[in-house]
Amino acid sequence: MPHRKIESKALAVPSSRLSRLAKLGGLASGIAGNVAAEGARQLVRGQRPNMGALLLTPANAMKVADQLAQMRGAAMKVGQLVSMDAGDVLPPELAQILGRLRAEAHHMPGQQLKKVLTDAWGPDWLRRFQKFDVRPIAAASIGQVHRAVTRDGRDLAIKVQYPGVRRSIDSDVDNVAALMRISGLVPRGIDLAPMLAEAKRQLHEEADYEREGRCLARFGELLSDNPAFRVPALHADHTTTSVLAMSFVEAVPVDDLAEAPQAERDRVVTLLIDLLFRELFEFRLMQTDPNFANYRYSPATGQVVLLDFGATRAFPEGFADLYRGLLRAGFAGDRDAIRRTARQIGFLAEDTPEGLEQAMLAMFEMSLEPLRQKGAFDFGASDLPVQMRDAGMAMAAERDHFRIPPMDTLFLQRKFGGIYLLASRLKARVDLRALIEPHL
């Protein structure tokens, strides 16, 4: 389960609620200072300052990215989600700066790491290992990963959670949400409460490494009949709520395949899209975090290696049937049936204005084009994401009627979007119709 060697520096994770609040308070005042200074400069030049443009400057984005990277935990996770969802909306330089949060994080200093492992395994924990690499091979929002060899010769990847992450989840999410409201990043009138409650629930689940271990083992069972995939094995004897031990798998980032032969890129993306449909329609269990780092590739075997099952989500009975009905209606071009099913799912409300409803239905039909096409769909040559973004921006004017859809739907859409982005990055050509038809 290797990652690229990280070039981050050791930086202690602020673990008390007060120190984390102070970090965000400092961030807010720093951004306010930047806004005031730049606004004054524009007034001197005779320009009329635009509040939105003043907030969304590269300097402010750099401040946000640096501070959230230092805090890790829920604060950094929210920053990652914003950068992933807003990549097509933010100016490219801002998306790039915030995108750093998905690729890099600081790691814990040795003393802090030692304390976390002593709390998890007891004071004699080093006796468990022939070798334990103190320098992490990966660092992310909630934990960092170390390679170790046990006394009995098992080669492990060990994910160690940052201290204070579980305790700080609720306050971090509230504080970052307040920061986003103050900064104007969230349109007025949008009720964030259900999304924030869900973010907290999911982050508490992700911070429970014993739960993630069970999800890891379950996916290993579900895919045991498919040699094209590799899921690291859980090592429960070294796993606790804050430490997850799994087998180390030699692999490279999946986006390294950008230079691979077309046939191999097509094969890998076909596998991932087929897995997505199986997760929804067959397993009713989905790893919902579409971060590219969760997919790796083994050059030695050609296998797709799956990592990070903290965001695994079980869908309720009947959820897949509603989506199956929506897709069937879409394939048949039956707009009335699409409208009915979209209301059942929660995409549309009874009081959605007629114009907005028609625009949303048209956008859904547009999103089906790749699935309805006979033969291979060329992700690299398609301008569908740009069309979808333009349609979405046009609907943004109706923000008074915007509703956050049900959370199951939101997480599913996030996964669809993430896999689409990866397929576009790899310029894959995939017969999507052949993959979806068996499920309909």
Catalytic residues: 289
Query: Quick one: angle between helices 58-71 and 92-103, nearest 10?
Result: 10
Cβ(290)–Cβ(417) below 8 Å: yes
What's the one-letter identity of residue 310? Answer: G
Sequential DSSP letters for 283-315: I-EEE----GGGEEE-TTT-PEEE---TTEEEP
Distance between CA atoms of residues 94 and 72, nearest Å: 20
Joined tokens for residue 31: 């951004």
Angle in degrees, CA 148, 287, 425, rounded to 5: 90
Of 168, 174, 116, the closest CA to residue 141 belongs to 168
Distance between CA atoms of residues 221 and 328, nearest Å: 30
Cβ(163)–Cβ(16) below 8 Å: no
Of 345, 307, 348, 298, the closest CA to residue 323 belongs to 345
Residue 390: partners with Cβ closer than 8 Å, 6 or more residues away: none
Cβ(241)–Cβ(310) below 8 Å: no
Joined tokens for residue 174: 């509230």
DSSP lists the bridge partners of residue 255 as none
Cβ(251)–Cβ(298) below 8 Å: yes
